[in-house]
Structure 1
Amino acid sequence: MELLMEHANRALVQEFQFSMPWDMETTWVSHTFDNEIDWNFQLADDPEWTYMLSRHSFVLHLAQASKITNDPRYAQKALWYIRDFLTHAPHIIERESTSWRSLDAAMRVMNWIDALILLEIEADSFIREGISSHVEYLALQDSPFLLFSNWGIIGNAGLFKSALYIDDSERARLAENRVCESIQYQILPDGMHWEQSPLYHAEVLSALLSMIHASKRHNWTLDDRLIHGAKSMAQFMLGSMKPNRHQFLQSDSDNTDLRDVLTRASYLLNDSTLRVGCFPVLEPYLSFFESPDSRKAYEKQMIAQPSFLSFGGIASGNIYLRTGWSEEDSCCHFRCGPLGSGHGHADLLHIDLVAHGSDVLVDSGRFTYCETSERRTLKEAESHSTIIVDTHGSAQYGSTWKYTRYDMPGDRFLITKNDWNYAKGSSLGYLANSLKPVLVEREIIQLGRSICLIHDTFFAMSRHRYDWYFHYSPEGIVSDEQQGSIVFINRRVKSTMWYERGIEPRLMKTPYSPRYNLMDEKPTVRFSGVFTGNHSATFIIYSDKIDEEKSCTIEPLVVRGLRSQQIYHTHEARGWRICVENEEAFEVMIRSKETTELLQAGSL
């Protein structure tokens, strides 16, 4: 609430800063209009500031502040902004690239309607005509692009909500039908939005929830396809959630808390299985609209444990290996699917690792949508914890929204058993995009909360250079003082990565952007090696809490054929014994080559 009041108080004096958690393109630089507001104003060289201004989130903030304080200044200023925009920036074609893009117009009118409802003010004829002009404009927005883009669902959610507000059932039905058609193309079978951005996944889900909320208010019966789409997206959001309840920093996304969206979904969809990822009380948005009895009923609702821990988003290629639902648990995110839209990054075979609730390996973020060197760097493969062959990523950056060449994911799958999880994926891009083809496979085994084994296999006929990148959280320090291992330490955990001989590590600092317009740096390790023919490499990560640290030893095991007693080469089969102090040892064997006999390693 403190941040909400800060934004509302700025809006009182026409000062704008867009730094709320779900502001899609955040900025911490404020701008004040001393007199008349220029609704097409662009701050610095980023047009996203204009788009954020055009969405009028501050109108809703003012209405919420009015409810909190009962100070009439907030309500008066909220209405003043609506009238000022309609007076000085009505729709004309020239403004469709600035203050009247369909996405922003939809978000703006939804904020206006929410504000009017909160303020318990019936729109006068001038404001009602202004809302009607938005309905007319949004009803005309129909194209193949919108059918396949988050803009389409968000825009039609705005059309639906505003059409219901002015009693235009025909346009409301049009919007609902468009959204149902878009759902067929945009939401993958595993529930992920096809653009491969958790941020825009959340925005699309929020748009569907807004339609559900509006339908309940107006006693409108929604198409079951829309309800099912929202449920599917909410379940994916739960399955993809980090232990600290934030989203992973994937593609064009920010490090944002998911609990408010999941709380809204649990309440509106009446789904108690989502409660493990929710606030214990109704989140700030809904709490303003719902009755005290409804809020109390939600708080008393029993939490139903989800039917899964690890989550295999096979269609989207997002696999989450999870040890539990507490904030102290561990989770590994494995990217092994298509790149998605222009919001996607070249992150095939990337992994994020959270150990005992603490970030260890992270994505690099997005920072900007402007055509800059930072945009290119953050979208390329080198900014992800993945593998580069012969110094070039398989996907080739073209411009801020385009690639001139795409990577090609192979089959992927997840196996989950009691205290271990296994995931596998592959990149076919170096087969199709290279004169010296290489098939790259990555396997991940999670053993309890503390152990993560990464096994990479390269099938090749010639000599190649391989570079492995591992991007560590900026909240810790990384050292390579101990031969054969990399050590990461932050305030909570110590994480040691063992690597094999034949590859050389190099420690460096690389860009890290946890929020749009926010840049930091993080420790990164690049391993390099040159090999001829088939090859495999293994990295074993052991992480433990600082105050509960235990010793861990790794012993390679010889793999033999049980019948032939033939010793298999390391690129054919590998084995390890992993011993943690005062715990039962793990023995692991991975086979990369099909055999006609059983294999033996250690006691396996």
Structure 2
Amino acid sequence: MRNLEKFWCNDHLEEVAGDCGRYFPGGKEACLEQAERILKNSFVFQEHWEMERTHEAVVFGDKIEWDAVPFGDPEWLYALNRHTCFLILGKAWRYRCGEKDEAGRSKALEYGKKFVALLEDWLENAPLAPESRNGTWRSLEAGIRVEFWLKSMALFDNCPLFTEEIRERMEACLREHAGYLLEVNLPFHRLSNWGILQNHGLLLLGLYFGENGWIQEAVRRLDEECHLQVFRDGTQWEQSPMYHGEVLYCLLDSLMHLKRFDRPAPRRLWEKVRKMVYALAAWCKPDGHMPCHGDSDDIDARDLIAEGAVLFKDGRLKFLAHEVLLEDNLWNLSWEEKAFYDGLEAREPEEASRALTDSGNYFLRDGLGADSDYLRFHCGCMGSGHGHGDQLHVDYFSHGEDILVDAGRYTYVDNDIRKRLKEPAAHNTVCIDGKKFCECVDSWGYSRMALPWKGEYCFLPGMGMVSGAHLGYLDRGVFPVRKAVLLTKGLVLLCDAFYSCGQQGQEGQQAGDAVGNRGKAAVHSYQSRFHFGKQGIAEAKDGGIWFHSPGVQARMLCLKGKCRVTKTEISTEYNQLSESFCVENTWEASGFTSQFTVVAAAGAKEQLELSAGLLPVSMVRNGRTLSGEEAEAIRIVKNGAEYVVIVCHQELISEVDIFTAGGYESYGKLMVFTPECAEGEVLQY
């Protein structure tokens, strides 16, 4: 295995094929099914980290059209030219080449023959040319292709059909890839995920061919790109956990191989990558899957966290990876690295909730177990065109299932559904007067974006709060503020407040002035939306909303306005659209207004009773009862357990005094009381 012994799992390939078949029989079966399709020139892209999955096979005749654009989506062309088909055929060869029966050996040779045929056809019919740089030779695909080619070369190393002549032709083309990747380094590449993905390929080529200049340039670029793209909190700037994961994989793999080849890497690169692993772990739900935040699919990301545990020798990351290795890990780790992970002691992190303040991503949890609650809140920058209009959006995951979710992305084709899924109505946030605080002009651009106004957060054991606002309705004279509170496992409170200065209302009239609420304030309409997980059914019943799915039930109460349940669209995978349910809560108000939304969750067969109502708030010392514009309190009872929450909307105390509601007293701006904790927990001062 010339020059490839130190790459990935190549020091024990036979054992890996056996282990994957033994521990991941479903993965082996899917690989062999895919290989059978490829033998018939039928292509579907469904690998674990496939960026743009497909679900409908495209079948060619005797001739592959490498520049074909089926369904009008160029992402199909890009996926084809990354050559995951080579990797699939290579794995299929390894699965069957060791079989003792003649049928198995014969089938394995079919895979080898097809690999050679596809490779030779591509080399002949998809050359690097000016017109192919935006198609078959797009620089992103060129960088990704390098990895799949090198892996395929190792997988077919013991195949008699993979001759020295074929290897030399591949190597000549790989050198052409290196020259091309060295040439392409524009500002776009330096700030987007493209740069890191393609320079990962350049690094692999440098290590394979022993070209020190390529290695040094690749490391320099990766270091610069990581510095530009990754915030101090570890988040890749494009506001998509999927692209964060794609970038992280390439950086982890780069550092892993530099370590194997005893090559240096800058300290700040190591530190940024370590932070990226922890940021991904925070993003992931308790089941290890990432949310469909921005342009993302629902993907199990524990393999990257596990690889981070190996690279950084970090038992906390092993704990966050659920102490498992996924199939991809077996194909990527050396024997020594796998043995190290198996022997690494898992250590539970001290804190469950995380605040990624640079990117405006906040994650409230009551623990780190697979059955823990997870409340995600976003109030941060848009990122690139992969970011969505989701200011103040929340996801909620409880009892092992999604309850409130992001509607996903579905496609990159510039059409109506692409815009719908990117705009605010596809997210669990509030729109005012039927206007969007974020508007798309095409698949990637926006004509209007809301400036986020990050608030405060407080994490306590088993509970927490985060707040944020945005300026997207400043032109309408309204300032929306949301506070998301995880009260306990299975109970969430959203406090929305809208500060109006009496400018344009829903009919565009002027009322009052732009300072305070003087004069006659305009009437505004408010639309709060909540999208539910596709696995369940939502219905209006018993004065609220019920959500039922196989493993969880949830009850939602909105204390103001009217609620209606509608059917809507959701996409947890690219090119896959499903039906789900959305709740629209609407009301009208002039001047200041607020809304409390309570969501309670329980196991599908557990008891779930929920009630909620407002309480008056008073000052203890002077006895004054406060107006709803000043402060409000809500009493929530879930299965007999009482929670009273006081929320101050204004700065109220200039002299010494204490707030009281429902028989409880304290000082602060957001206070939570229970009979067991009558003194209360203050989550915001």
TM-score, normalising length: structure 1:
0.95
Residue 42, structure 1, aligned to residue 69, structure 2: yes
- From 467, 471, 481, the counterpart of 1:441: 481
Q: Deviations over 1:312-345 (max 9, x none)?
A: 1111111111111222111111111111110111
Equivalent residue number for residue 529 of structure 2 = 469
Q: Are 1:459 and 2:496 an aligned pair?
A: no
Q: Distance in 1 between matches of 2:333 and 2:582?
A: 47
Question: What is the distance in 2 between the residues matched to 1:247 and 1:4?
Answer: 23
Counterpart residue type for residue 145 of structure 2? R
Aligned twin of 1:205? 248
Which residue is equivalent to 1:115? 152
Identity of aligned residues (%): 30
Post-superposition offset of 1:12:
3.0
Of 651, 655, 669, the match for 1:594: 651
What is the CA-CA distance between 1:280 and the residue it aligns to? 4.3
SS across alignment from 2:409? coil
1:450 lines up with 2:510 in the alignment: no
Mapped to 2, the partners of 1:178 and 1:200 lie a distance apart of: 18
Given candidates 550, 563, 572, the residue that maps to 2:630 is 572
User: Structure 1 residue aligned with 2:538, among 478, 489, 513?
Assistant: 478
**Aligned pair in 2 of structure 1 residues 413, 518: CA closer, same or farther (>3 Å)?**
same
Q: Given the superposition, is the C-alpha separation of residues 182 and 293 from structure 1 closer, same or farther in structure 2, using an over 3 Å criterion?
A: closer
Change (3 A) 1:281 1:116: farther
Q: How does 1:55-454 map to 2 (within 5 A)?
A: 55-70=82-97, 71-120=108-157, 124-278=167-321, 280-292=323-335, 294-431=337-474, 434=475, 436-454=476-494
Give the Cα separation in 2 of the matches to 1:405 and 1:456.
Answer: 22
Q: How does 1:526-565 map to 2 (within 5 A)?
A: 526-565=584-623
Q: Offset at 1:218?
A: 2.6
Distance 1:225 1:141 in 2: 24
Q: What 5-or-longer segments of structure 1 have no aligned partner?
A: none
Between 374-383 and 28-37, report the one with greater CA deviation. Answer: 28-37
> SS of 1:346's equivalent?
coil
Give the distance between the partners of 1:164 and 1:521, measured in 2 at CA: 47
C-alpha separation in 1, matches of 2:568 and 2:410: 13
SS in structure 2 opposite 1:365?
coil
Cα distance in 2 between the residues matched to 1:326 and 1:598? 38
Correspondence for 1:25? 52
Residues 287-322 of structure 1, C-alpha deviations (whole Å, 9 max, x = no match): 235454543432232111123211111111111111
SS at match of 1:360: strand
Structure-2 separation of matches of 1:332 and 1:289: 32
When normalised by structure 2's length, the TM-score is 0.84
* CA deviation vs aligned residue, 1:494-543 (integer Å, no higher than 9, x gap): 21111224x11122111111111111121111111110111111011111
Q: Secondary structure at the match of 1:412?
A: strand
- Cα distance 1:288–1:21, how it changes in 2: closer, same or farther (>3 A)? closer
Distance between the aligned counterparts of 2:557 and 2:473, measured in 1? 27
Quick check: 1:3–1:20 contact (8 Å CA) kept in 2? no
Q: 1:514 to 1:587 in 2, by over 3 A?
A: same
Structure 1 242/381 Cα, relative in aligned 2: closer, same or farther at 3 Å?
same
Tell me the alpha carbon deviations over residues 71-91 of structure 1, each in whole angstroms, 9 at most, x when there is no partner.
344344334433332222121
Taking the aligned partners of 1:455 and 1:465, their CA distance within structure 2 comes to: 17
When structure 1 is superposed on structure 2, of 572-581 and 169-178 the one drifting more is: 572-581
What amino acid does structure 2 have at the position aligned with 1:49? W
Measured in 2, the distance between the counterparts of 1:69 and 1:245 equals 31
Residue identity opposite 2:71 in structure 1: A
Equivalent-residue separation in structure 2 for 1:271 and 1:453 (angstroms): 35
Given residue 55 of structure 1, which amino acid in structure 2 is its aligned partner?
R
Following superposition, the deviation at residue 582 of structure 1 comes to 5.4
Q: Given residue 492 of structure 1, which amino acid in structure 2 is its aligned partner?
A: G
Aligned residue pairs: how many?
598
Kept in 1, the 8 Å contact 2:631–2:647? The answer is: yes
Q: Shift in Å at residue 555 of structure 1? A: 4.1
Shift of 1:453: 0.3
Contact 1:118 1:288 in 2 (8 A): no
For the 8 Å contact 1:348–1:427, the answer to whether it is kept is: yes
Structure 2, unaligned stretches of length 5 or more?
Answer: 1-26, 98-107, 159-163, 503-522, 666-685
2:513 corresponding residue in structure 1 = none
Determine the C-alpha separation between the residues in 2 that align with 1:126 and 1:96.
21
Q: Does 1:521 align with 2:584?
A: no
Residue equivalent to 2:562: 504
Q: Secondary structure at the match of 2:525?
A: strand
CA distance in 2, matches of 1:248, 1:205: 16
The question of 1:491 aligning with 2:550 is answered yes
Structure of greater Rg: 2
Per the TM alignment, residue 202 of structure 1 is displaced from its structure 2 partner at its CA by 0.5
Q: Corresponding residue for 2:81?
A: 54
2: CA distance between counterparts of 1:450 and 1:581? Answer: 11
The 3 A distance-change label for structure 1 pair 335 and 401 is: same
Other structure's SS at 1:113 match:
helix
**Partners of 2:411 and 2:430 in 1: CA distance:** 24
CA contact (8 A) 2:323 2:346 kept: no
Instruction: Supply the distance in 1 between the matched residues of 2:216 and 2:228 (Cα, whole angstroms).
Output: 19
Residues 64-117 of structure 1 deviation map (CA, whole Å, 9 limit, x = unaligned): 222222234434433443333222212111101110100011111111012223
Q: Is the 8 A contact 2:607 2:639 kept in 1?
A: no
Contact 1:243/1:327, CA 8 A, preserved across alignment: yes
C-alpha contact (below 8 Å) 1:83/1:127 kept by paired residues: no
Match of 1:15 in 2: 42
Cα separation, 2, equivalents of 1:225 and 1:4 = 38
CA distance in 1, matches of 2:145, 2:559: 55
Q: Give how far 1:559 is off.
A: 0.8
Name the SS for the 1:133 alignment partner.
Answer: helix
User: Greater CA deviation, 412-421 or 387-396?
Assistant: 412-421
CA contact (8 A) 1:509 1:523 kept: yes
- Displacement, 1:254? 0.6
Q: Which moved more, 1:282-291 or 1:356-365?
A: 282-291
Instruction: Tell whether the 8 Å contact from 2:630 to 2:652 is kept in structure 1 after alignment.
Output: no
Indicate conservation of the 8 Å contact 1:153/1:179, yes or no. Answer: yes
How many Å separate the matches in 2 of 1:141 and 1:311?
A: 37
